[in-house]
């Protein structure tokens, strides 16, 4: 009898706790827009549409994706930063928004306060690639040449203040070398010169180089992660010859600063679970990223640390985005 009473009491207590938890669930907006600051077809756009398809049913609401490219991603980011603080407008972006906020002269919002990170879908390394005609076959050979003749090694990017530009400047500091920056009006133009051997190297996510690598025009040299990457087990980390160097790309969802904590917590929990789904894992793998599930506090620290690093580097090198 005592056992039955105890079991019944436990069940009633658990039921009450569950009911209380449901009652505390925040009221989510009837429509949520995920703003992508890149054009249709970009990997971030693909990620956003996959998230939207799963997030809607989970929240019992409608979730749509809207592309707002331009302004080095700051147009789309500003729309969310200045948007409603109720979770109805989210931003899914990459480190490009953080580097732009660190290097553009007049940013239309405060990166640290007007946007709050909600969930990081995934994170992974970039690839440093050279022409197949290059004499550099290892990171050590590249660093040695740059030290022997400062300024002789060239690297191409899609412009000043971009993630690629800042990454190479960070590599130069870590490796105690000096390289020459060749900015282009788009990564595709740089790829043409990389394949021909006009410039020595570029850095980007693997998908940027995939076609040229398969065609035998470009060779991957190393990865930008601090340690060897499971995505590229045969490539050494650039940190092996430039101690302390590490740059990862990521895809993160942001909301407007001031969004109520219960809404942020619900979004964090749901999107973290989506990031671990088989569909999202497969999509992120094509961009060499793996799920990175973080709580709100750890995620905010991670993003703020990224921003502080690029802000310091841009100030020290006097880098201003074009």
- Band of pLDDT at residue 231, cut at 50, 70 and 90: confident
Sign of CA dihedral 156, 161, 167, 169: positive
10 pLDDT higher than 60: no
Q: Give 117-167 pLDDT, tens digit per residue.
A: 999 999 999 999 999 999 999 999 999 999 999 999 999 999 999 999 999
Residue 111 backbone phi and psi in degrees, to 5: -60, -30
Whether 7 has a pLDDT exceeding 80, the answer reads no
List of domains in the chain: 28-123+249-317 (3.40.190.150), 127-240 (3.40.190.10)
Q: What is the mean pLDDT of residues 42-70?
A: 96
pLDDT in tens, 132-145: 999 999 999 999 99
Return the pLDDT at 44. Answer: 94
Contacts of 118 (CB under 8 A, 6+ apart): 90, 252, 253, 254, 255, 264, 267, 268, 271, 296, 299
């Amino acid at each position: 009898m005592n056992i039955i009473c105890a079991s019944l009491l436990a069940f009633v207590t658990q039921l009450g706790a569950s009911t209380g938890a449901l009652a505390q669930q925040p009221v989510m907006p009837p429509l949520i827009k995920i703003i992508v600051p890149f054009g249709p077809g970009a990997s971030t756009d693909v990620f956003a549409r996959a998230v939207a398809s799963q997030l809607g049913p989970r929240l019992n609401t409608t979730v749509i994706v809207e592309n707002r490219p331009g302004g080095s991603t700051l147009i789309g980011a500003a729309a969310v930063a200045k948007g409603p603080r109720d979770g109805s407008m989210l931003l899914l972006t990459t480190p490009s928004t953080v580097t732009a906020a660190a290097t553009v002269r007049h940013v239309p919002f405060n990166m640290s306060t007007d946007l709050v990170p909600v969930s990081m879908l995934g994170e992974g390394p970039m690839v440093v690639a050279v022409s197949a005609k290059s004499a550099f076959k290892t990171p050590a050979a590249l660093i040695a040449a740059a030290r022997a003749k400062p300024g002789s090694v060239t690297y191409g990017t899609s412009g000043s203040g971009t993630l690629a530009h800042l990454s190479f400047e960070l590599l130069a500091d870590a490796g105690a070398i000096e390289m020459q920056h060749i900015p282009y009006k788009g990564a595709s133009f740089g790829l043409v010169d990389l394949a021909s051997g006009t410039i020595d190297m570029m850095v980007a996510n693997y998908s940027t180089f995939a076609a040229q690598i398969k065609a035998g025009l470009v060779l991957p040299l190393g990865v930008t992660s601090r340690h060897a990457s499971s995505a590229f087990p045969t490539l050494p980390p650039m940190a092996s010859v430039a101690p302390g160097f590490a740059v990862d790309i990521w895809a993160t969802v942001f909301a407007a600063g001031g969004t109520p904590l219960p809404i942020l917590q619900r979004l964090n929990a749901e999107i973290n679970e989506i990031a671990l789904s088989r569909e999202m894992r497969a999509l992120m793998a094509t961009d060499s990223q793996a799920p990175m599930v973080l709580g709100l506090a750890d995620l905010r620290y991670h993003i703020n640390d990224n921003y502080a690093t690029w802000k310091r580097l841009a100030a020290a090198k006097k880098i201003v985005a074009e």
